Structure 1
Amino acid sequence: MERRAKLTEIDIIRGIAILGVLMVHSTSFATVDMKEASLYGVYNFLNIFFKIGTTSFILLSSFVLFYNYYPQPLTVQRFKKFYRNRLMYILVPYLLFSALYFALRWYQNGAAWDLSLMWPSFRDKILTGQAYTHLYFVFISIQLYLLFPILLFLFKRFRWLAASAVIVGVGLQWAFFLYNREYWQVTNRGSWSPTYFGQYFLGAWLGIYFDRIKSWLIIAKENMTKSKVIAWVSLWAVWLASGIAYVTIFYNQRMYQTVYHNALYDGLWDIYTMLTSIILIQIAFLIGGRMYSSFWVGRLRHLGIVSFGVYLFHPLVLLVYRKFPLQGGGTMIHHAWYAGGFLCALVISWIVVTILSRMTNWSWLLFGSVPAQMRAATQRKPVIETPAATPSATA
């Protein structure tokens, strides 16, 4: 069967998602230290509203997998290649960065460099995604890659299951939430894949049925009908309302110690993050046609291409940056210092990943498929702009 058209717009979504990750991580200290500042509401907004990175990456990963694999026949050879690539490009970088961050933490804690003490701790951390605060995402991705062939088989075997994937995913997700709260009480719930089944199954559904639903999903002049405009406006309204509500409950909790039920946090988070991914898809297709003509759209796409490397590397930049905290100074100086953390995490990580990916043959060990994706992107020639409803011929 012929492969489906590639979607370069996915790189733009990844670029926006990694900006969200950097924003959350660079404002995390401010949400604790700047409560007396008049702009604390801004810090809270940036820290909560941009909590879209992990969920968007998970949904995109699922979308791409099911978009590419669902129309193809299931063969042993295809899955051998699938797992070989994930072993090389996901597991190896995960292990190397886990070792790096584990060693840094061990040094910071002043513990003895005793392998008999270090190895059990390191083993436990890599088996739970806890070697450093951000590596849980890669650990989740590995779990979902292990599940993918099973879900692909089931969705191809039972078409009704594919059609109801979103309902099934959200149901399984909330069953995990409820059973975990009442019985299992799993620590680090966010490191386990069932926490993200709603986003993952939504990505699967979008990937499977994209060709059928794109005229409803993608905002374009040629797609406009009264019913579609109503659907788009309603989508954006619900997304914005859920995002504001999500930001508000965290503000009240942080400032006034207001207590809310866990289900409210989970419910708003689920609605907001799932709708955010759909909104990002719409934005990407709105601006995607200018990725070769607009400098900023082109840079955003490039950031998306290197996003996995930036994700893995940027905490190292923030770790060094925070070694030099401000001593005194006015409030505006502190605002500038926090803004500087975001800019350093973005620019330095972006430059380092780009240079290493271009200049070395071993950078795939650290950044996975980023070097290959960069080479592929530079080899593609700009194409004549097509209507936004039609996927571009490259991705």
Structure 2
Amino acid sequence: MARRYLHEIDLMRAFVILGVLSVHTTSFFNVLNNDMTPGFLTLGALITTMHYTRETFMFVTGLVLFITYYRNPFNPLVFWRKRFLLIAIPYIIWTLAYIAFVGLLTPGFDWSWSVLWPAIEHNLLTGNMYFLYFLVVSMQLYIVFPFLLYMLRRWEKYHIHILIASFVLQISLMWLNKYALGNVNTANLSKVLYDLYQYRDRNIIMYQFWFISGGILACHYDRVAAFIYRHRRALFVSLGIGVCLVWGYYFLERLAVGESEGSAELVLQPIMVPYSLLVTLVYWYAGMSWAKRMGRPGWRPFSKFVKVAGNTSFGIYLAQPFPLYLMELTVNHIDGLGIPTWLHYALLPVSILFVYFSSMLISYIFGKIPLLTYTVGRRTQWRRHKHEAVQHAA
């Protein structure tokens, strides 16, 4: 079968990565506030409602993989060679770049090999530099994808059962992560067990529902799309209720239960599973609605932006620490001038857009330079020889 290109995925990637950068920028602004003040709690509630981005990206990853391979020939060795080439290279390069960046910012940093090598080894094994955990989880998905593909092909008539079981397992894992694993005494754990515990947020098991649900959607794409269109009003109403519930839960955790900010904002907790699913479906519906209009004259400028932002989203994710650092320096300097509170908060949307478009520019430029394209997950397209171009045209 001809492989299907989903234009709606471009819009999802373009705006979900904007959500990712919004979380990171808003989190910095909230660090400048005092805990439990109205401004702190307001931004904390806002950050919590934006904590769907990780799950949505993983849902999209599963969707794209299954829409590509579910009804087409599949060779695991070819798949692994292709996928790991485009993710392992940026993972290694950006890990090294981040370590060098941190070293340059740290006075008296020891650049000796005896110090650098353990840091490189540890960060490559854990994805501990900035936000590289996503690449670690993606590589785990690529390893197990042939099994998932076989499973969904083999048990196609049981997809709804698999989806329900996966959802229940996800809720259980999130409950375990928040209410059980958060209180483990790690003093007597071996290094292996300690690392598994400490870095459980980059274990594929913790995100299994998002890959499986994205895959099942790919298997029944048109039927589910028709269902979403018929019930779009209920979907938006459910999302509105979901936002209110998440806000209420956050304030309950902070003001009544006395939980810490980190616990209340936690991404991997039960309430975020249904909420993130609702947000993801709304993104998907918005993408499908745009895809129907993308070629109309009035929509063409926006469509060009979506294409660029969607194609550079992976690079935006990788490049963001550098614009974030510049943004933090600038905001700290401006705040040091004694600006009024309203101006401080007015800088938030400006800062988000600066980080977003600066990261996009870096990703776009890297994607145009031969060999550097691999750092943003894209192959280098070498110029064809003249006879190859003629042969291709023929």
Match for residue 287 of structure 1?
A: 290
- The alpha-carbon deviation at position 338 of structure 1 amounts to 2.9
- The amino acid of 2:94's aligned partner reads F
- The separation in 1 between residues aligned to 2:39 and 2:16, in whole angstroms, is 24
1:354 equivalent in alignment to 2:364: yes
- Measured in 1, the distance between the counterparts of 2:267 and 2:25 equals 26
Kindly state the Cα deviation for residue 370 of structure 1 after the two structures are TM-superposed.
Answer: 7.7
Closer, same or farther in 2 for the Cα pair 1:135/1:265, shift >3 Å? closer
* Amino acid of the structure 2 residue aligned with 1:113: W
Bigger Cα displacement from structure 2, 50-59 vs 242-251: 242-251
Per the alignment, do residues 297 and 46 of structure 1 end up closer, same or farther by CA in structure 2, a change over 3 Å counting? farther
Change (3 A) 1:32 1:124: same
1:380 — aligned with what?
A: none
1:48 is displaced (CA, Å) by 2.2
Which residue matches 1:201? 212
- State the one-letter code of the partner of 2:80: Y
Q: Is the 8 A contact 2:366 2:375 kept in 1?
A: no
Is 2:174–2:270's contact at 8 Å kept on the other side of the alignment?
Answer: no
TM-score, normalising length from structure 1?
A: 0.81
Write the letter of the residue equivalent to 2:224.
I
Partner of 1:130: 128
Aligned position for 1:31: 30
Supply the distance in 2 between the matched residues of 1:174 and 1:49 (Cα, whole angstroms). Answer: 18
Q: What are the superposed Cα offsets for residues 38-63 of structure 1, whole Å, 9 maximum, x if unpaired?
A: 65565334422222222111101100
Counting only pairs closer than 5 Å after superposition, residues 270-309 of structure 1 correspond to structure 2 as 270-292=273-295, 293=297, 294=299, 295-309=301-315
Q: Does 1:121 align with 2:119?
A: yes
In the TM superposition, residue 252 of structure 1 has moved relative to its aligned partner by 4.8
Runs of at least 5 residues in structure 1 that lack an aligned partner in the other structure: 220-227, 373-395
**Secondary structure of the equivalent of 1:164?**
helix
Report the Cα offset of residue 143 of structure 1: 1.0
Whole-angstrom CA distance in 1 between matches of 2:141 and 2:18: 23
Q: Name the counterpart of 2:96.
A: 99
Which amino acid in 2 is paired with 1:144? L
Is residue 2:320 matched to residue 1:322?
Answer: no
What amino acid is aligned across from residue 369 of structure 1 in structure 2?
R
Contact preservation (8 Å) 1:31, 1:47: no
C-alpha RMSD over aligned residues: 2.8
Once the two structures are superposed, the pairs formed by residues 183-332 of structure 1 within 5 Å of their partners are 186-217=197-228, 219=229, 228=230, 231-253=231-253, 258-259=258-259, 266-292=269-295, 293=297, 294=299, 295-324=301-330, 325=332, 326-327=335-336, 328-332=338-342
Change beyond 3 A, Cα 1:47–1:177: closer
**Which 10-residue stretch deviates more, 232-241 or 150-159?**
232-241
Aligned mates of 1:307, 1:159 — CA distance in 2: 32
Hey, what's the Cα distance between the residues in 1 that align with 2:100 and 2:152? 42
The reply on whether 1:366 has 2:375 as its aligned counterpart is yes
The match for 2:165 is: 168
TM-score by length of 2: 0.81
Amino acid of the structure 1 residue aligned with 2:111: W
DSSP 3-state at the match of 2:2: coil
The residue type paired with residue 274 of structure 1 is: L
Which moves more between the two structures, 247-256 or 285-294? 247-256
Aligned to 2:62: 62
Task: Give 1:345's aligned residue.
Answer: 355
Higher deviation after alignment, 197-206 or 98-107: 98-107
Structure 1 residues 27 and 236: alpha-carbon distance in aligned structure 2, compared to 1, 3 A threshold: same
Using the TM superposition, give the Cα deviation of residue 344 of structure 1 relative to its aligned residue in structure 2, in angstroms. Answer: 1.4
Q: Is the alpha carbon distance of 1:45 and 1:283 closer, same or farther for their aligned partners in structure 2, counting shifts above 3 Å? A: farther
Q: Indicate the residue corresponding to 1:387 in structure 2.
A: none
Q: 1:264 to 1:72 in 2, by over 3 A?
A: closer
Q: Deviations over 1:350-371 (max 9, x none)?
A: 122222322x111222101287
Q: Secondary structure at the match of 1:329?
A: coil
Contact residue 21 and residue 355 of structure 2 kept, 8 A: yes
Residue 176 to residue 38, structure 1, CA distance change in 2 (3 Å)? closer
Contact 1:12-1:284 at 8 Å conserved across structures: yes
Distance 2:200 2:234 in 1: 32
- Distance in structure 2 (CA, Å) of the matches to 1:29 and 1:343: 14
Residue identity in the other structure for 1:237? V
Aligned to 1:80: 77
Amino acid at match of 2:309: L
Aligned-residue offset at 1:270: 0.4
